[in-house]
Amino acid sequence: MVLLRPLALLLALVVSELYCLSWFIDVSESQGPGATLQSFSFNCSPYIPTLELLHVQPPTTFFNPPSLTRWQGTYVGKMTLSSSARLDALTVNHYELQLRFTCGNQVTEGRLSVNVQRDPNRDQCAGRFASPAGEIIQVRETVTPRTPLYTLLLPGQGAQMNITSAQDPPYFPGPFSIDGQGQLWAPSQGLKGQAQKVFQLQILVTFGQGRSCRGMLTVKVLPVSSSQVSFPQQAQNITIPENLVPGSKVAQVHARGFDVRYEIVSPVPCRLFSIARVDGVVRTTAPLELAQAPDAAVTRLRVKAFERLRPWDSAELDFQVDVQSVNRWPPRCLPALLATQIPETTPVGTFVNTFTCTDPDSPGSTLDYQLLFHSPASASSLCLRDGVLEVNDTLDCDAPGACLQHTASILVLDSGQPPMTTEVPVLVMVTPVNEFSPTCVSRTFRVREDARPHTLLGSVMGTDLDYPHDSIEYSISGGSAPFAVDSLNGEVHLLGPLDYEMQKSYRLTVLLTDHSQDQDPTCHRSGSCTITIEVEDVNDHAPECEPPFQELTVYAHLGRSLEVTTVSCRVAQEPQRLAFSYRIVGGNSQSRFSLQGAVLVHNDLMLGPPWPEQSHTYELLIRVADAGPSTPHLSTTATVIVHIVPWRASTGATSIHRTTVPSRMTPLLVTDTEVFWQPEPWFVVVLTVTSALLLLGLGWFLSWLLRGLTQVLQTSSKPTQALLLNSIQGTKGSIEGFVEAPRMETPQAPSSVMSLHHFDGRAQDSRTGRDYLFNTHTGARRWL
């Protein structure tokens, strides 16, 4: 049979009571058929138990076989009275029922003692007295006048009894009388000469509150016999043990005479003993436990023997029954099971639980106690002092497997012979207590400022001395920083973008809260530590040149170098960054120009004859990139348009004519934010088809309209200002551009800059990054 340990302990308790201890119950004689006498609870898993009634002493059919039903995981047995039950305390006041309980392979037997109590409210006349024929008594004609002839036993106290039938002479020699104790007295004249007569007496029994019943007594007067009834043996003392069950034989008396009958005449009524009317066997009728009935130690019995047909011919015998004490019952303990729970912080010496044990055989005797551990087998956390279970050692639940369920037994021994024991199961559950607050070590994490969201920065390692040690939840105090901590494992993640130029470091307070470390689920302890997050600088801003577009006119001498302009660039977000590299990436045909740092130099040393007669224009693209250890290296492109005019004698001195951008045409930074939307695929298909149809119709209409506009625009040739987009930067669709001032070039006169090839604007393609020139009137483009 496989049972959980607590259930096994409970079953052991029930079985031990069933085997070692008898149940004593008191039942009123007024209980009728079907009444429940006793209920039993059994644990028997996974088997189906049985409960049987083996026998009843004295034999009777008043008890049904026990029933056994399952209720909420346990089995409940019941003992009930049968349909033929008619309990009468005056007839039999004690029954012994032997029960057998079977659970799997384990069979246990026990006794149920039923004491029948008289019901003072039972106001009915029972037995032959209440029958139509009535109770028949026989007396000798030589009976002494005014002596008791019969005692009427009725339930209840304080009943009044009167003879209501007529007792008129000459048939009656004199009136019979009955007193309040139910004793029928002979007439004062006696019954001499009334042999063979029969006197019928109607008796009215009146109880309190107007309740009454009637019965009949028939008195037969017998003539005197010549024979004599006598006992051959003399008075004797009989010693019996107190553990005799009711119905056990005590002794047997024998009297000489014809058809002799026996009865106990003293004490009347006799609660402990009865005698068989025919064979004279004296038997016990109730338990003889001296602890419960000390007066049962010595009983003096007077037995009367008489002939059945002549009851006046009788003899009496006196003898004494001594009851000897026997160590019959093991000690009884309350409670029968010690089950409790204590916190792990319980101090040494604290009382865990108390119980009381007594010896039913010898109240007040000294008992011995022994503590036996079952799990763990060698536990020293508990001890037993003077019958009190207390804590003997420090309890600790902060290690795996340390918080235990202590199961033990207390063995209680009495001092009788033979010694008897009782085992009290003990179940002590040690519950955890949240004693310590979680802690963690302050740490420093480093992260690049271009790290993406959800980047793992590191972990906060929290520790807790309470078991389990990893039951910690993490959180960040305050929610303004772009960081989050995983509540389960303490991992710190990045939530949003970082900017080294805005904030170089963060100090976060991480809160640690423990859980599941106390019997009370609402009991928590918390701690905290500080982590520092340092942002590493990343080159994320390209240089900006002021101005981004220059247009210069240079009067050059043959064979001489000339500084044209200085390219001035900076990083507005990082003013401390001053190291830049400069390189001409376009427009430097014949290598006429070179850079000395940020200075653009025109070199005519390689210029050979013939000397050009006309001016020449160079459109130079200068890439400016940041230098230094920071990566990646970002760059921007500055545009410098240089008009080289050869020096002539008529020209005064070599000079540079710089075209400046008017204040009203200052380059303007335009920021365009594109919203990204990812529609459903079916919507894209529908939108594409619809747009294609609209564009076909709109394209035809615009082609007709543009032909007319082109003719009108070609007729007008006045100069127009152009927009130059110097660089395009941004994240997720952000575009930054610069609007340039218009430039005018002419190869004929250095003092006037006219439109070159009708391209009056310059821009940069947003997809490829290539620069191109465009005509604002016609829309024509030329890639550089």
pLDDT at position 122 is 64
Three-class SS state of 476: strand
Query: What is the percent of the chain where pLDDT is above 90?
Result: 16
pLDDT tens digit string along 574-614? 777 777 888 888 888 878 888 888 888 888 754 444 555 67
767 vs 280, higher pLDDT: 280
pLDDT at position 650 is 45
pLDDT at position 735 is 31
pLDDT over 60 (residue 566):
yes
DSSP string, 558-590: TT-EEEEEE--EE-TT-TT---EEEEEEES-GG
pLDDT over 70 (residue 675):
no
Which whole number is the average pLDDT over 500-514? 89
Q: Which helix (H) or strand (E) holds 36?
A: strand 36-42
134 vs 778, higher pLDDT: 134
pLDDT over 80 (residue 714):
no
Tell me the three-class secondary structure of 749-772, residue by residue.
CCCCCCCECCECEEEECCCCCCEE
CA within 13 Å, CB half, 213: 17
> Helices in 228-365 by DSSP H: which ranges?
none
φ, ψ at 663 (rounded to 5°): -65, -35
401 vs 326, higher pLDDT: 326
pLDDT tens digit string along 95-113? 999 999 899 888 888 888 9
pLDDT at position 378 is 59
Q: What share of the chain is helix, strand, coil (3-state, %, to 5)?
A: 10, 40, 50
C-beta separation of 332 from 358 below 8 A: yes
For residue 767, what pLDDT band results from cuts at 50, 70 and 90? Answer: low
pLDDT over 80 (residue 419):
yes
10 vs 224, higher pLDDT: 224
Which whole number is the average pLDDT over 422-428? 90
Which whole number is the average pLDDT over 365-381? 79
pLDDT at position 603 is 81
pLDDT at position 649 is 47
Least confident of 244-253, 313-322, 733-742: 733-742
For residue 219, what pLDDT band results from cuts at 50, 70 and 90? Answer: very high
C-beta separation of 624 from 649 below 8 A: no
For residue 648, what pLDDT band results from cuts at 50, 70 and 90? Answer: low
Which whole number is the average pLDDT over 340-362? 85
Q: Which residue has the tokens 């821009």?
A: 763
pLDDT at position 612 is 56
pLDDT at position 150 is 87
Answering whether pTM is above 0.85, one says no
